[in-house]
Amino acid sequence: MPELPEVEVLSRHLDPALIGRTIRRVEVRRRKSVRPDSATRFAAVLKGARIERVSRRAKYLVFQLRRHGEPESFQMLGHLGMTGRMYVQPVGRSLAKHAAVVFALGDSDFVFEDPRYFGRLSLELAALDELGPEPLGAEFTAGRFGRDLGRFRQAIKVKLLDQSLVAGIGNIYASEALFHAGISPRRPAMKLHDDEVSCLRRAIRTVLREAIRFGSTVPLNWAAEDASDGLFYYGRAADAGDYYVERLDVYDRAGQPCRRCGAAIRRIVQAARSTFFCPVCQPR
DNA sequence: CACCATGTTCCTTG
DNA sequence: CCAAGGAACATGGT
């Protein structure tokens, strides 16, 4: 359930649900889903720790933890990959087929489920050092963004996915932000003019903020009873109805009319990922 | 059977 | 060292 807005909404949901809870037992059911990949070491560090806070950095969930009596807190990172989900369920309910890690909290279990096993829970924090600025934060200025983009001739869409330039944009919101800014995904990053860089920066912030607002407003099923809990980026969500389907302007809308001008939305492939855009509103 | 999928990392080639 | 492209990871949906 990736991309910044989905992780943000998930962290806002998990924080009040997990704060103050103590991890009584750790069950690593998929060693690949955990770092260090020794299940014993991973479990030994976390067992007995209390969860003090859940927050987000880029597409990572950040769990702040503390062991009883110790002055120093420590952190665990969670990344959902493509298909990861996290939720709290009552003890005794049957575990999902692809439940990778289960934290027993007493009367409930905190579950990390991930059918494709691309996601990770990690006690190694080095990944954070490689990340660029938060797109909704103060360090993400047009000046910095423009200077960074100036180093690459690769297409702007591809560079929006580079987490060292801006952290948190994924394949869906990259297409959406470029449509919002009226910029072709095929333009070389270094050829964007200053006004286009400013416009794109604003579009990124708007698109992400609106997605967070949507995800916070729409009723989401967090109970993990079906596959739709917390999902609002794309596809079908529980109780969201048509409103949901109408949300995205270009992503996964190939052949359908542009909402602004009516032209057919196009799908192209860049760096082995799909890009969607309007050839009229986003000319080369 | 085919192709597609929200992400990241590693490898190769230039 | 860097840029760019492709494969790999593993499973499920259509």
Per-residue pLDDT of chain A (284 residues; tens, 9 = 90+): 689 999 999 999 999 999 999 999 999 999 999 999 899 999 999 999 999 999 999 999 999 999 999 999 999 999 999 999 999 999 999 999 999 999 999 999 999 999 999 999 999 999 999 999 999 999 999 999 999 999 999 999 999 999 999 999 999 999 999 999 999 999 999 999 999 999 999 999 999 999 999 998 776 665 555 544 445 554 444 444 545 556 899 999 999 999 999 999 999 999 999 999 999 999 98
Residue type, A219: P
Residues 176-195 of A with CB under 7 A from strand B: none
Residues 50-89 of A with CB under 7 A from strand C: none
pLDDT score recorded for residue A178: 97
Bases of strand C lying below 7 A from some protein CB: 2-13
- Sign of the alpha-carbon torsion through A130, A136, A139, A142: positive
Residue A90: how many CB atoms within 10 A of its CB? 9
pLDDT of residue A247: 85
Q: Are A120 and A153 spatial neighbours (Cβ–Cβ below 8 Å)?
A: no
Q: What angle do CA A275, A277, A279 make, to 5 degrees?
A: 135
Strand B nucleotides where any atom sits below 7 Å of a protein CB: 4-9
Residue A217: per-residue pLDDT = 78
**Cβ of residue A231 lies below 7 Å from strand B:** yes
Question: What global pTM score does this model have?
Answer: 0.93
